[in-house]
Amino acid sequence: MISEKVVKAVEEQIRMFQGLAPEEPQVTLKEYRDYLKSTEGRSVELDPSEYIRKQRLRSEFY
Amino acid sequence: MRLVLDSDVLVHALRRPKSKELHTLHEKAVRLFESCIERYNELFLPTVIPIEVGTVLSKILPEDLAIEGIEKLLRITKEVYPYTDDATLNSVYSISSHIYFERLLDNSLKLSRITKEGTDSWVPGWQAKREVMIGGMDIFVLTYAELKAAVLITNDWALWYVAWKRGLSCYWLSGLKDEQVSELASAHKIEYPVQ
């Protein structure tokens, strides 16, 4: 059972961290499309589905 | 609608391919990704996905673009769970992470290797192999979508099949028609697969 003291401590921690973690501004469609355009002709051609399937079954991260 | 976009769908959405074969999938992934930017849908991700996307982008794009792609992904994502770059959220998520872990463990033992049912041979992408195997990373993704009651979209047939048999709301990107992608991008669930 969680004591009231623990709950207050957690709430205090959350309040403290909230002041240090400002919310990131949202990405706009234009920013995303500009980014996509900048990748044109600059990526190595690879099928991500095939590549990730191999990675997941042959070399786990954990 | 809460969407969990699998790593391969996100890589499709975060770089423009050269070949025509990959272009169709890229366009579908872009429409789904843009629906999250426009807030028709909300992007929910388990921690492993941005990490996996980062490892792939860093192999196929120059470093500056890979970093920019990941930054954009994180800014669009509504939740990364259970480990994120937000200290407050890490504190909050740690309260429930044991539930995630227990479900992960259970699913890893039950779902990693399943026998396909012959009566499913009508589904898109079916191949005549007796079994489907998925790995630990797939279990992280599937279990997270299950816990969050989110819609899972992957282009990995094996993961899709296991998630579908498990009863999740899930879609295989290659098997989706353009109008079905548009429905999903407008936050409408669709019947899939249709016999």
In a domain, B129, yes or no: yes
Mean pLDDT within A50-59: 84
Contact A48 B11 (CB under 8 A): yes
Residues in chain A within 8 Å Cβ distance of B11: 48, 52
Contact B134 A56 (CB under 8 A): yes
Q: CA-to-CA distance for A29 and B95, rounded, in angstroms?
A: 35
In a domain, B195, yes or no: no
pLDDT band at A18 (very low <50, low <70, confident <90, very high): low
CA distance B34 to chain A (A): 7
Out of A24, A40, A48, closest to residue B75 by CB: A24
Please tell me the predicted confidence (pLDDT) of residue B93: 86
Model ipTM value: 0.92
In a domain, B21, yes or no: yes
**For chain B, percent of residues with pLDDT exceeding 90:** 87
Q: B82 preceded by cis ω (within 30°)?
A: yes
Please tell me the predicted confidence (pLDDT) of residue A21: 46
Nearest CA in chain B to A40: B16
pLDDT at residue A24 is higher than 70: no
Give how many domains chain B has, as a whole number: 1
Please tell me the predicted confidence (pLDDT) of residue A25: 63
Measured in degrees and rounded to the nearest 5, phi and psi for residue B153 equal: -125, 120
> Which of B183, B182, B177 lies closest to B193, judged by CA?
B177
Highest-pLDDT range among A10-14, A24-28, A36-40, B129-133: A36-40
Q: Does B67 touch chain A (CB under 8 A)?
A: no
**What's chain A's average pLDDT?**
77
CATH of the domain at B141: 3.40.50.1010
In a domain, B192, yes or no: no
pLDDT at residue A5 is higher than 80: no
The residue ranges of chain B whose pLDDT is under 50 are: none
Q: A30 vs B129, which has greater pLDDT?
A: A30
Out of A25, A42, A47, closest to residue B65 by CB: A42
Q: What is the domain extent for residue B48?
A: 2-185
Contact B30 A36 (CB under 8 A): yes
Q: Radius of gyration (Cα) for chain A, nearest Å?
A: 22
In a domain, B190, yes or no: no
